[in-house]
Amino acid sequence: MDETTNRAVAALVAARLVYAVNWLNIGAIFYLMGTDLSGGVSGLGTLTSSFYLGVGLLQVPGGLFAAKWGPKMVVTLGIMMSSFAVLGSAISSNIPEVAVFRFIVGAGMAFVFAPAVVLLARFVGSKSGIGVGLFNSTFGVGGIFGLFGWIVLASATGWRPSLLLSGILGVLTAILVVYFVPRDEGNLGSRLALSELRRIFEDRNLILLGFGTMGITLGNTLVSSFMAFYLHEQLGETPALAGLISALMVVMPIFSALWGGRLYDRMKKPRLLMLAALLAMIVALLLCALPNLIGAAVGSALGGAAFGVGLTVSFAAAKDLHGTQKEYDGVAIAWVNSLSLTSSFWPPLVFSYLAESLGYAVAWFGGACLSLLFLVPLVFLPDKVRDEVT
């Protein structure tokens, strides 16, 4: 790659790293926020729900806007939206205000993922798998900073300065994208065929895949959002150790996603692989219900491994299962992602209610039961992707 391409890729990777920090750091620092804003675990549930509603609802519009206006413009807009909303969160005075800003953070992030993947694929050419793998792995690295680094930072400086810093870093990465990513080219503003879009949105297999993926996303949401707060509040662990255990949920997918991709390429059996990933996530949530640090650590690690495999298979299957033109692969992936993320807004509310009224052990067990329900749509997925579809 030439120097211009290297700078563009580096700018997108930097943006992805800070993106992960701002996605995950609220769950890490909420033990300080909750005290200041008079919000317990129910407050954390509200913020988590609001964020996932925003990031889920805007997935498909983000993909469509990128096709119409160009991916660089949409990525830049998304980073700026989410970063300024993080800054707004830092000066909020109550949970409802933070919830509004978290919705905007999620909406902005929905504009970033798919368009950024399109840009990376354009820059790295034949090495697109490596480029996308680097992009996704960077989320795990950013997650370590968000779940572990930010809990240490907030403990030393306070939660408001820590959010101010992550918001400013987000704005700086948007500036990097503006200056180092080449301008959008091509036939921008071209109209997408409504008949093809309708076929995607009505595709039975994609709908089943989206709701089946939700069972895996649900477990990831609960562990990455609530684990640090649970370990500190319920088990009395130090904030730093609580953040480190939570970070296992984002570290493990760095490795398991690659393994899951190889398995899918070899087998082309989305139903089998998705069922295996979901069952592993259910076991992980049951382990989290054990009232000790070992159960939490093993549950977080197993859940992260299951999430890496499940999400990789889900995106690959979305591309292979839809019956429209190859140009609509991104829209199909965005649709599956939208179904799984938007539907994930309510489990945090259920979890926080159970934790507050019946205890965390019941809440983790309840999360496992909720994930179990999503075995049903996966059972009806195709057993194997047809060669003519791939």
In whole angstroms, what is the distance from residue 152 CA to residue 168 CA? 18
Could you tell me the sign of the dihedral formed by the alpha carbons of 219, 223, 225, 230, in that order? positive
Q: Which CATH architecture has domain 8-180?
A: Up-down Bundle (1.20)
Which is higher by pLDDT, 390 or 139?
139
In whole angstroms, what is the distance from residue 178 CA to residue 173 CA? 9
pTM as predicted: 0.85
Average pLDDT over residues 200-218: 91
Cα angle, residue 41 at apex, residues 113 and 345 outer, rounded to 5°: 35
pLDDT at 129: 46
**9-23, pLDDT tens digit by residue?**
889 989 999 999 999
- Report whether pLDDT(388) > 60: no
pLDDT at 364: 96
pLDDT at 123: 76
Average pLDDT over residues 213-235: 92
pLDDT at 338: 87
- Report whether pLDDT(149) > 70: yes
Ranges for all domains in the chain classified under CATH 1.20.1250.20: 8-180, 198-390
Q: Residue 49: which of 371, 351, 334 has the closest Cα?
A: 351
**Lowest model confidence (mean pLDDT) among 87-91, 144-148, 171-175:** 144-148
- From residue 89, alpha-carbon distances to 51, 83, 101 in Å are 12, 10, 6
CATH of 198-390, one of 1.20.1250.20, 3.30.2420.10, 3.40.50.300, 1.20.1330.10: 1.20.1250.20
